[in-house]
Amino acid sequence: MARVERFAGLLLAENINQNLIAKPTESIIWQRHIADSAQLLAHVSRETEIKSGDRPWLDLGSGPGLPGLVVAAMRPDMPVVLVESRRKRFEWLEKTVGELGLANCRVEGSRLELVATVPAGVISARAFAPLRRILDLSARFSTTDTVWLLPKGRSAAQEVDELPKRLKQLFHVEQSVTDAEAGIVVGHLTRTALARLDGGKR
């Protein structure tokens, strides 16, 4: 937990320079941001880890490193890739990864569309984009074994419900343990869904 505590301190310090997290949430950073990110690990089974092998946890639009940096700090045995296109945040993430000594974590400083296609074991995204947009942008990183973990707050159920039927049946909503009104979209994609999402380029 020492690395997680250090990360929380670095995040609060940097929040003075750039708006990484909402100011009102600084006093509740452990529940609102750290625990909220850490809870995603409970949805990754041992079976999933075995199937994933050395495929990374891919965190899209990582911003302040949530949930990606929390995952990397708590699971140094798990490769994690943070994707962040905004230069100032990318530079801070790279610096923070170095300061925390996270050899299992690297940062991609470019738009998601420009990131090389590498199969992921887990794909996460917190406050990144609407669910359907995330799937359209990221299907190429997924296999049928990839676990999608997408904290969506109060809109979770609605965003799943708005998916086409063929996709809706592949996802469900888990209750957040840190916010009674928030949900986490969890799911896997079938070969058919993957082919349709990325135009059959598999």
Residue 32 lies in a domain: yes
Domain count of the chain? Answer: 1
In whole angstroms, give the CA distance from residue 102 to residue 85. 20
| DSSP state, residue 143 | -
> For the chain, how many helices (H) and strands (E)?
10, 7
Residue 150 lies in a domain: yes
**How do strand 147-153 and strand 183-187 relate by DSSP bridges?**
antiparallel
| Residues of the domain holding 24 | 2-197
Q: What is the pTM of this model?
A: 0.94
Summarize the confidence of residues 97-110 as an average pLDDT. 98
The CA–CA distances, whole Å, from 3 to 29, 73, 114, 158, 175 equal: 15, 6, 30, 36, 27
DSSP labels for 23-48?
GGGGGGHIIIIIIHHHGGGGGS-HHH
For 139-184, the pLDDT digits (tens) are 999 999 999 999 998 999 999 999 999 999 999 999 999 999 999 9
Summarize the confidence of residues 193-202 as an average pLDDT. 70
Following CA atoms 151, 82, 130, 120 in sequence, which dihedral angle do they give, to the nearest 10 degrees? Answer: -80
Residue 102 lies in a domain: yes
Note the pLDDT of residue 50.
74
For 61-98, the pLDDT digits (tens) are 999 999 999 999 999 999 999 999 999 999 999 999 99
* Cα-to-chain-centroid distance, residue 57: 8
Q: What is the CATH number of the domain that holds 47?
A: 3.40.50.150
Residue 193 lies in a domain: yes
